[in-house]
Structure 1
Amino acid sequence: MRLFIGLEPPAAARKAIAHARDQLHARHGGKPTSTANLHLTLAFIGHGDVQTIQQLRHLLADLDHPGFEFTLDRIGDFKQGAIVWLGCGTPSASLDLLAHNLRLRLGDARVGFDPQPFTPHVTLLRKAQPIIEALPTPIHWQADAIVLYESVSTAAGVCYRPLFRHPLK
């Protein structure tokens, strides 16, 4: 199983993100991320088994972090358009702290994860044209739970299946 931990957008934010994705897709092409797969990754774990899932469930259940709001207000791309994303132009201290504390706990528990610096973003398109434009309307996201996901390959493409949700207090 391929695992990662992230935030799932609430309905209003998901709708606004999907709208921004559709607008960008019309102008820049590429392969859009399905609406069901929209998320913000906090830590990519990679391959894991049932024991890893149990360990991660306990780790997330012990995580004590309040809910918070952050804003997606920036469009960008990685690798000259290979991945187009929405991100935070203005850093969110709560979001950064959540990612930092989660990664510390993963390290303490000896759970391997991708050590690349945390860059909060939601992937919208893959293999698109490079982006140089502003997001017309910022998207506000109320983070109220942290989610353990499994990335599942299907004939229709990859889907992200939530395995465990833990509320942020």
Structure 2
Amino acid sequence: MPDYQNKECGRLRQRQTSGRSVRVFFAIWPKYTVCRQLCVLSEKLELVCGGRRTRAESIHLTLIFLGEMGTSQLDALCLAINAVKGRAFNFIVDGVCYWKFNRVVYAGAGEVPLELFDLVGSLKETLSANGFPFDHRTFTPHITLVRKVRPHVLPKLLKSLAEPIVWPVSEWILVKSEQASDRSVYTPIGRWPLVSDSKVNAVF
């Protein structure tokens, strides 16, 4: 996907956002190797607890949900977000948990990087300062892996992963969300780089 700053990205947003409004959110998205590791984990969990696992192309970690936004506002949103700066980091996926109220099994980190909280905080400040509405719920970093699980087997999942998954995060993206049949379809429409750090591993 082209950078958010250039003309090609502007044309991309025009192609990908036909209509008067779109549902959008900010997220981080895993590269191939990490995505594959998370897919293998979701497949194992689906066998244990039933339900429906997240498709490979849909695995992500939501930063902020903005909801419905007029397509005419997207360029202004991207210009405002250009001011946000952040540092690259490793998100160490080392545990699996569940939310009983919505029957979702998710993966997370026992120790969340401060860089992730700083990024979300900066995004919220910038959105508020520029008058963009967004979901103000407390940020709880998680990667949804399986939905509609069988409650009676969930306690078996409350354990640390034998081999943690190291997810190098080097950018965040703006995503369009659409419904197609019984599933969500996600399309990136903008992205922003994080400042590299020697401690962040390169995984492709």
Instruction: Please classify the TM superposition score into its range, dividing by the shorter chain length.
Output: over 0.9
**Larger radius of gyration between Structure 1 and Structure 2:** 2
Show the 5 A alignment for 1:1-169: 1-80=22-101, 82-130=103-151, 131-132=154-155, 133=157, 134=159, 135-155=161-181, 157-169=183-195
Q: What TM-score do you get using the length of structure 2 for normalisation?
A: 0.78
Structure 1 counterpart of 2:7:
none
1:146 Cα deviation after fit: 0.8
Match of 2:13 in 1: none
SS in 1 for 2:162: coil
After superposition, the C-alpha distances for 1:23-72 in whole angstroms (9 at most, x for unaligned) are 00011111111110111000000101113321221133222112111211
- 1:8, 1:40 within 8 Å by CA — same for their partners in 2? yes
Q: How big is the shift at 1:155?
A: 2.6
Larger displacement relative to structure 2 (2-11 or 48-57): 48-57
**Worse-matched range after superposition: 108-117 or 52-61:** 52-61
Task: State the Cα deviation string for residues 123-165 of structure 1 (Å, max 9, x = none).
Answer: 1111112433222221111111110001111136211111111
**Tell me, which stretches of 5 or more residues in structure 2 are unaligned?**
1-21, 196-204
Measure, in 2, the Cα distance between the counterparts of 1:42 and 1:81: 19
- Paired AA for residue 58 in structure 2: N
TM-score (structure 1 length as normaliser): 0.93
For the residue of structure 2 that corresponds to 1:94, the secondary structure is: helix
Give 3-state SS (helix, strand or coil) of 1:118's partner.
Answer: coil
Alpha carbons 1:82, 1:128 under 8 Å: kept? yes
64 and 126 in structure 1: CA distance in 2 versus 1, 3 angstrom threshold: same
Separation in 2, partners of 1:115, 1:100: 11
After superposing the two structures, state which structure 1 stretch, 91-100 or 20-29, moved more.
Answer: 91-100
Q: Is the 8 A contact 1:60 1:146 kept in 2?
A: no
1:2 offset after TM fit, Å? 0.9
Residue deviations 1:65-98, cap 9 Å, x none? 1211121112111135611111111121111111
Contact 1:81-1:129 within 8 A present in 2 as well: no
SS at match of 2:163: coil
Percent identity of paired positions between Structure 1 and Structure 2: 28
Count of residue pairs brought into register by the alignment: 169
Q: Distance in 1 between matches of 2:127 and 2:43?
A: 35
Q: Separation in 2 of the partners of 1:12 and 1:141?
A: 9
